[in-house]
Structure 1
Amino acid sequence: MHHAEHVMGTVVSIDLADELPAPALQSMIDDVCRWLHEVDRRFSTYRDDSEVSRLRRGEIDISACSDDMRHVLEACADLWRSTDGYFDAYAGGPLDPSGYVKGWSVEVASARLAEAGSVHHCINAGGDIRARGLSRKGEPWRVGIRHPWEADKVSWVLSITDCAVATSGSYERGDHVFNPRTGSPARGLRSVTVVGPDLALADAYATAALAMGEAGLSWLAKMVAEGYDSAAVTDDGRAFTTTGLPAAV
């Protein structure tokens, strides 16, 4: 069963490949959509009534926040420390945890599907992807990583199962990732893709590496030991991958 949901400012594609009755699959999709809309209502920086907007304006403090908000803030603080400050929810000024929230919300959505009985599914939220099991063809899920200059082409095709893929780049949304050391838009890397076991971390690591610029290449190489492989393209068109990147033949 396939479903596309407009939420969080993007289209979220949900593919379930389990041999289960249609009503059961539809119930799983409905649950995922409710969750994603709940996340959007709570964390959208574009909604004046969202929890994060109220926190930014000082109308509530952390003690009055939801468990989910406290989790996200703690995770962002941990990532700030583990990336030497390059993942910074305050890099653009006011609090904006979006670089963690989308990946985290899809990771949670995939866990909810698994708990409900779906062992073969793929969720794609604007390039943030969490896959489990196999596609309906009985093969690993295939994911194309967009070429950073030519939108109708791909740089890599990945073959994945039971893992996450996150891509951060300047080619689609412009200067939305900042180097927190300089306060200026990130320069040096055009596109960063990270593959690993947890989408929340893969998404944050891709953002952090992009913010680092070319120094992010050596940092990404170190993350292989943590279970995260990567592919990156520099501003001048050079391409780099770690040895374990699950590129399709």
Structure 2
Amino acid sequence: MEQESKKTRIAAVGDIHVQETDKGKWTAYFEEISKAADLLLIAGDLTNTGDEMEAEVLLEELRSCTIPVVCVLGNHDYEKNRHKLIRQVLQRNPAVTVLDGESKVIGNIGIAGVKGFGGGFDNYMLSMFGEGAMKAFVQEAVDEALHLERALSRLDQEHEGIQKIALLHYSPTSETVKGEPAVIYPFLGSSRLAEPLIRHKVVAAFHGHAHAGHLSANVSGVQVFNVAKHVLHKEGVQEGFFILEV
């Protein structure tokens, strides 16, 4: 009975944008997270310019983190097309997992992670029509949603009764990007990402990317949190990281 009531404290943050000049800047931050939580999720934009040397700095800073860390990459991490190198660097720390269409189980928590992509929300989603470039843009959003679907399906098939969490960079709902200019909504996320969350009864989804957005929303029973560090600061989360007990 005691085991059933035990909660997992999940810390989440996104858009930390680590730079080469950040050596020593994050040590105390990760130490504080380790005291407050059992698991850390980082929702993309781990680096500032997508350089593997920035990832090396983050790798060193994460030595002060004594709990498991699960990440996805963001658009900044893709800037120099060195995203594979960034992933390899960070995963030299055995406590760090970088997901890209995969899942990770820690205790009774199953995390499915993808970067996601843009495409717009609800009745304003872009459709697969027109020029090849437009179709390719929409196809990227469809592919990311499919990767998320597969990762969540795998959790359902292999781990019955597990608590499912989704980790994204782009938003699955317009509700958590409110505060950003409406004209850039198509580049902040896509409702296609919400469909797998709802279908697989995900407990919560975390994302970043929309720095001027809103902290939380409920999408058909799924709690969605925009944990971009800028949003946490704006919403008065003094610690600089969000905590959810599951």
Q: Same fold (TM over 0.5)?
A: no
Structure having the higher Rg: 1
- Length-normalised TM-score, structure 1: 0.28
- Length-normalised TM-score, structure 2: 0.28
More strand by share: 1
